[in-house]
Amino acid sequence: MKLKYFAWIAEIIDKREESLEIPSEINTIGQLIDYLSSIDEAYKKAFEKRKNIKFAVNQVLVNENELISKADEVAFFPPMTGG
Protein backbone atom coordinates (compact mmCIF):
# COMPACT_ATOMS: atom_id res chain seq x y z
CA MET A 1 0.00 0.00 0.00
CA LYS A 2 1.29 3.47 -0.88
CA LEU A 3 1.22 5.83 2.10
CA LYS A 4 1.74 9.61 1.97
CA TYR A 5 2.28 12.07 4.81
CA PHE A 6 2.09 15.86 4.81
CA ALA A 7 2.95 18.88 6.99
CA TRP A 8 3.84 18.13 10.64
CA ILE A 9 2.83 14.48 10.25
CA ALA A 10 5.58 14.03 7.62
CA GLU A 11 8.03 15.80 9.93
CA ILE A 12 7.29 13.51 12.90
CA ILE A 13 7.41 10.31 10.80
CA ASP A 14 10.38 11.75 8.89
CA LYS A 15 9.01 10.47 5.57
CA ARG A 16 6.79 11.94 2.88
CA GLU A 17 5.82 8.62 1.36
CA GLU A 18 6.48 4.91 1.51
CA SER A 19 5.15 1.57 0.28
CA LEU A 20 4.28 -0.89 3.03
CA GLU A 21 3.01 -4.46 3.14
CA ILE A 22 -0.08 -4.24 5.33
CA PRO A 23 -1.53 -7.38 7.04
CA SER A 24 -4.67 -8.63 5.29
CA GLU A 25 -6.84 -8.12 8.38
CA ILE A 26 -6.37 -4.33 8.13
CA ASN A 27 -9.49 -3.16 6.27
CA THR A 28 -10.13 0.43 7.33
CA ILE A 29 -8.20 3.67 7.83
CA GLY A 30 -8.82 3.43 11.58
CA GLN A 31 -7.32 -0.06 11.69
CA LEU A 32 -4.37 1.12 9.59
CA ILE A 33 -3.63 3.93 12.07
CA ASP A 34 -3.80 1.45 14.99
CA TYR A 35 -1.48 -0.93 13.11
CA LEU A 36 1.11 1.74 12.20
CA SER A 37 1.04 3.09 15.77
CA SER A 38 1.81 -0.41 17.06
CA ILE A 39 4.90 -0.98 14.89
CA ASP A 40 6.83 2.25 15.46
CA GLU A 41 7.00 5.07 18.03
CA ALA A 42 7.16 7.77 15.32
CA TYR A 43 3.76 6.74 13.89
CA LYS A 44 2.38 6.49 17.43
CA LYS A 45 3.49 10.05 18.12
CA ALA A 46 2.23 11.37 14.77
CA PHE A 47 -1.21 9.79 15.20
CA GLU A 48 -1.54 10.65 18.90
CA LYS A 49 -3.91 13.57 18.29
CA ARG A 50 -6.19 11.58 16.05
CA LYS A 51 -8.91 14.24 15.96
CA ASN A 52 -6.42 16.59 14.27
CA ILE A 53 -5.74 14.23 11.38
CA LYS A 54 -7.55 13.95 8.07
CA PHE A 55 -7.27 11.13 5.55
CA ALA A 56 -7.63 10.68 1.83
CA VAL A 57 -7.87 7.48 -0.19
CA ASN A 58 -6.80 7.91 -3.81
CA GLN A 59 -6.88 11.71 -3.33
CA VAL A 60 -10.46 11.79 -2.00
CA LEU A 61 -11.18 12.91 1.56
CA VAL A 62 -12.70 10.06 3.63
CA ASN A 63 -13.46 9.18 7.26
CA GLU A 64 -11.81 6.62 9.54
CA ASN A 65 -14.27 3.87 8.59
CA GLU A 66 -13.37 4.00 4.90
CA LEU A 67 -12.46 0.58 3.51
CA ILE A 68 -8.98 0.31 2.01
CA SER A 69 -7.14 -2.21 -0.15
CA LYS A 70 -3.47 -2.73 -0.98
CA ALA A 71 -3.78 -0.99 -4.36
CA ASP A 72 -4.87 2.27 -2.69
CA GLU A 73 -2.89 5.44 -2.07
CA VAL A 74 -3.64 6.54 1.50
CA ALA A 75 -2.65 10.02 2.68
CA PHE A 76 -2.51 11.47 6.20
CA PHE A 77 -2.51 15.22 6.88
CA PRO A 78 -3.67 17.94 9.29
CA PRO A 79 -6.69 20.18 8.58
CA MET A 80 -5.99 22.23 5.45
CA THR A 81 -4.74 25.83 5.53
CA GLY A 82 -4.66 26.84 1.87
CA GLY A 83 -5.53 30.10 0.13
Partner 1 sequence: MDINIKKDDFEITEEIEIFNQNSSDHGAVSIFIGKVRPENGLKSMEIDCYPEMAQKEIKNIAEIACSKWTLNNIRIVHRYGSLKPNENIVLVITGSSHRSDSMSANEFIMDFLKSSAPFWKKEIYSDKEIWVEQKESDLRKLYQWESF
Q: How far is the CB of 11 from partner 1 (least distance, A)?
A: 9
Residue with Cβ nearer partner 1 (34 or 53): 53
Burial class for 29, CB neighbours closer than 10 Å (0-12, 13-18, 19+): buried
The C-alpha angle 70, 5, 53, rounded to 5 degrees, equals: 100
23 binds partner 1 (CB under 8 A): no
- Alpha helices for the chain (secondary structure H): 7-13, 29-39, 41-46
Q: How many other CB atoms are there within 10 angstroms of residue 38's CB atom?
A: 9
Binding part of the chain for partner 1, among 18-26, 28-36, 40-48, 57-65 by CB under 8 A, reads 57-65
Among 29, 36, 56, 68, binds partner 1 (CB under 8 A): 56
State the residues that interact with partner 1 by CB under 8 A: 4, 6-8, 10, 56, 59-61, 75, 77-83
